[in-house]
Structure 1
């Protein structure tokens, strides 16, 4: 009984650590302008992959891993293409972004946290007022991922590439290990990907 209670308490502590949110911080005008430009809703190109072989390999592998959480294949492939594009556009590893989404929302499009964070990447609504436009819908697939990737890249820039601290800022738990460790574990254990070598005919 005592062991069961201890385990339940540990689960509550871990849950509280993960269920954080970005904190409002004033931005320099130049940073605000740059982030506004980054989240502006421009039409994406046809693909963010180097070639069709890379696209097929990555989408096939990631689709298989995500199928249990997103049973609809069409929605799953649209989601994965958008993750790859928005992560690449922001200069992030798509595998890291998938790990973050797993921890933040469990791949639930309409997830809302107790703090009010929204969507796949659990973006706080104050970002819309700060760097976006009032018409921006954080439950829209590409909009949510664009905001989330832009915010994470902003925090990485602030922390000079220190992922541990950047993830802490993203979750509003700077200096604590639970959230960065959870994202890294999801990234490395569930979403690690080694590209297949390009086929070169003789």
Structure 2
């Protein structure tokens, strides 16, 4: 694991532990709007990246490793969300799509799972009080920003591609700092409650040792 990511994860882990004792952080979805009310206008680089990737063809690499990962994660998802995905087939289909989009954006698939866990509890039809939609709670304004008004943010593949692309952009902008990138994603830059929630979900439910 790269030294930068190791240091970032160590810092984030400390923040999670501290929050559990001092603030009673829960994994309930926050009231702060996600992916959609950024503290500043979307940058041209992000809009260009999102526009490009939304037009890209599908792809899925490392099939053998992905299958091993899928079998592990489907059992975790069954424990976490048995109502929405009662069958093993449904869980595997969802996880395959999450894995593919996370890899496309060069994000850890487990981190994307943690974010979805916090944002929507894996409900593709989730709608927040601020109007954010789908698994990764993407705001509809993004469609107009990149000139794709036809996109359906309740469609799982579309929602994942938007969310993963936006998160990857913020992670690059913050030079690998997950706390800052997640805060930007959530529109809560300068606060740590949301990043701590996602990190807690990552470390306690979706972490994989490599």
The answer for the alignment partner of 1:60 in structure 2 is 71
Matched, 1:82 2:97: yes
The one of 9, 33, 47 equivalent to 1:20 is: 33
Distance (Å, rounded) in 2 between the aligned partners of 1:14 and 1:57: 27
The answer for the alignment partner of 2:176 in structure 1 is 161
Which 10-residue stretch deviates more, 139-148 or 169-178? Answer: 169-178
Alpha-carbon contact 2:30-2:194 (below 8 Å) kept:
yes
- The offset of 1:13, in angstroms, is 9.6
- Secondary structure in 2 matching 1:190: helix
Unaligned runs of 5+ in 2: 1-22
Counting matched residue pairs gives: 182
The one of 73, 86, 96 equivalent to 2:88 is: 73
Matched, 1:98 2:113: yes
For residues 33-79 of structure 1, what are the alpha-carbon distances to aligned partners after superposition, in whole Å with 9 as ceiling and x for unaligned? Answer: 22210222x4312x33x242x23311110000001412122221111
Unaligned runs of 5+ in 1: 1-9, 196-202
- The offset of 1:192, in angstroms, is 0.6
The answer for the alignment partner of 2:196 in structure 1 is 181
Larger Rg: 1
Q: CA RMSD in A?
A: 2.3
Which 10-residue stretch deviates more, 97-106 or 163-172? Answer: 163-172
